[in-house]
Amino acid sequence: MKGNQNRITAFFLQQEVWLFMANILLFSYAFMQMGHQLGWRHFLGILLGLVLFFLPLLLWVTLRHQSALTVSIKQVGWVIAFVALPAVFTLVWPCHLTDLPGIAENLVFTAKVNRFGLLVHWIALLVLEGLLKWGLRHKTVRTANWLLSWNIPRLAMVIVAVFALSIVLANNYFHAYIKEFSTTQSFLYYLVAVVQTFFVYISYYPIYYVHHHFLFNELLRKKGLLYYLLSSVGFLLLFVPLQNQLISFFPVVDQIKVHPLGLVPQVFSDLSFTLAIAFFLLSFPFIIMVEWYRQVNAISTLEQEKSATELQLLKQQINPHFFFNTLNNLYAMSLTQDEATPATILQLSELMRYLIYKGKEEKVPLKLEVKYLQDYLDLQKLRLHKPLDVTFTTDLTDEELLVPPLLFIILVENAFKHGIEPAGGDTFLHLQLSQQGKSVHFSCHNSFEKNSPPAENGGLGLPNLHRRLSVLFPDRHELRLQNSDHDYLAELSFEL
């Protein structure tokens, strides 16, 4: 059962043909309404005809993601499936496909209406394909937050525009009105009717606006239910007659009855009030959804601000920790009048410049972190007076990849402080940094003597690193620490 559910889910996530089939189902229903025969036989006949008409398109959408297809084949296939064949079929429709058994008696429209409907349907499929292409590029069409993040006026205009496009196409009075028109005249009148219908129904937007921002947010929340109910009734009684008077000025209301006023022309008719009341009630769950989304966004913003503040405090703890360690090293070198002291001070200057200017940034290029680590190693080699085997290898596919600063230095610092500096004999430090795509892996392997204190118990470095990783990469990082009597291995992996 679970396996079948996963396969079904994978189909809807990976395939796009079902989106086009949903479009065909929608137009089949609209054409059925135009035919005045509301039965299964009529509906299935229209559906079969449209599927046959757009069958090459549906097959291409199903097969076009095959890896064996080259870019040139995909481009040619798209033109044939989406442009050439529908254009040819539109010219011959309904002469051939309506001759098929079971279809001719169900498609009862005139040839002009058929061609007009198919033209609109073809355009709708091209628009759907354009939205999918645009969404694939911008990663937004498939994201619910993209839709919810729109401001309400823009969202209302899109919804009403889609409603106007479909309600006019499915309007029986419209098809009766254009019966004697040519295909071009029908299409032009369709566009005019859609524009007028858009303005007719966008006039309901003030109901939502007043409901949301005044009646709901102000009266219901601050004054209570009684104020809200009485004010809502008063608002509708005042607004609806004025709105109906404005709507009655649009010719399409009387010509093709896109609004109840075309059937009952009185501006005070109960039918017109019923539509406004229905819109008022339907706006209530939408208001709840919008307010919930805003509340979730506010909570998310507060959490992000808290995390950013916490990270900044952790960085402020890291910088003094490193700074004091290095100053202690310089003090020891100055006591012995080491000739490398000036070079060490210069190296320290470069390191501190990086800490001050880059350490406070949210992210830095990976190559700058590599340079910072190399400068730090050079600084340590100047001051240490013992044999040290140091290697630092990198395997990066993208040196410009942005990463949080000062993550790796903590492990390197601990390697020197708890492993190399206390050791009496030969020591080693092997560093390796690799990156593939968004995955980064860093390993720090150093010599370690049994009597040295373990790195976990020393200073602020590792606790801060653990905390930063939990904030920056929740459930997307791994820090492994392994120590023995002779060596210590720290491995850090995270996914950006």
Q: How do residues 251-289 score in pLDDT, each as one tens digit?
A: 888 888 888 787 777 777 777 788 888 888 888 887 887
Q: Which distant-in-sequence residues (6+ apart) come within 8 Å of 101 by Cβ? A: none
* Residue 298 domain flag: no
Q: β-strands 439-447, 402-403: how paired?
A: unpaired
Q: Hey, how many other C-beta atoms are within 10 angstroms of the C-beta on 95?
A: 9
User: Cα-Cα-Cα-Cα dihedral of 327, 330, 335, 340, to 10°?
Assistant: -170
pLDDT interval class at 326 (50, 70, 90): low
* Lowest-pLDDT range of 286-295, 322-331, 463-472: 322-331
* Residue 274 domain flag: no
pLDDT tens digits, 154-210:
777 878 888 788 778 777 777 777 777 877 888 888 888 888 888 888 888 888 888
In angstroms, rounded to a whole number, what is the distance separating the alpha carbons of residues 127 and 125? Answer: 5
Q: Report which of 199, 192, 190 is spatially closest to residue 171, judged by C-alpha positions.
A: 190
Final residue of a domain: which of 121, 142, 163? Answer: 142
**Domain limits for position 342:** 305-495
Q: β-strands 439-447, 477-483: how paired?
A: unpaired
Domain count, the chain: 3
pLDDT at 318 exceeding the cut of 90: no
Q: Report which of 440, 496, 490, 491 is spatially closest to residue 473, judged by C-alpha positions.
A: 496
* Residue 283 domain flag: no
The answer on 262 and 322 residing in a single domain is no
pLDDT interval class at 80 (50, 70, 90): confident
Contact 387, 442 (CB under 8 A): no
pLDDT interval class at 97 (50, 70, 90): very low
Joined together, the tokens standing for residue 258 give 């896109």
The answer on 53 and 200 residing in a single domain is no
Q: Which distant-in-sequence residues (6+ apart) come within 8 Å of 43 by Cβ? A: 28, 29, 32
pLDDT interval class at 460 (50, 70, 90): low
Final residue of a domain: which of 90, 110, 142? Answer: 142
The answer on 173 and 24 residing in a single domain is no
Beta-bridge mates of residue 482: 489
Instruction: Report pLDDT for 40.
Output: 77
Mean pLDDT of 290-297: 74
* Residue 339 domain flag: yes
Predicted model pTM: 0.42
CATH of the domain at 483: 3.30.565.10
In angstroms, rounded to a whole number, what is the distance separating the alpha carbons of residues 492 and 476? Answer: 11
* Lowest-pLDDT range of 296-300, 363-367, 432-436: 296-300
In angstroms, rounded to a whole number, what is the distance separating the alpha carbons of residues 109 and 86? Answer: 19
* Residue 295 domain flag: no
The answer on 152 and 67 residing in a single domain is no
Q: What is the largest CA-CA distance in the chain?
A: 106
The answer on 378 and 400 residing in a single domain is yes
Angle formed by the axes of helices 55-63 and 17-34, nearest 10°: 160
Instruction: Output DSSP code: residue 429.
Output: E
* Residue 287 domain flag: no
pLDDT interval class at 110 (50, 70, 90): very low
Question: Rounded to whole angstroms, what are the CA distances from 293 to 20, 150, 166, 170, 301?
Answer: 30, 11, 29, 34, 12
Mean pLDDT of 471-479: 81
The answer on 471 and 454 residing in a single domain is yes
Q: What do you get for the CA distance between the two ends of the chain, in Å?
A: 35
In angstroms, rounded to a whole number, what is the distance separating the alpha carbons of residues 242 and 304? Answer: 47
Joined together, the tokens standing for residue 446 give 């150093």
Instruction: Report pLDDT for 142.
Output: 44
The answer on 178 and 134 residing in a single domain is no
pLDDT at 17 exceeding the cut of 90: no
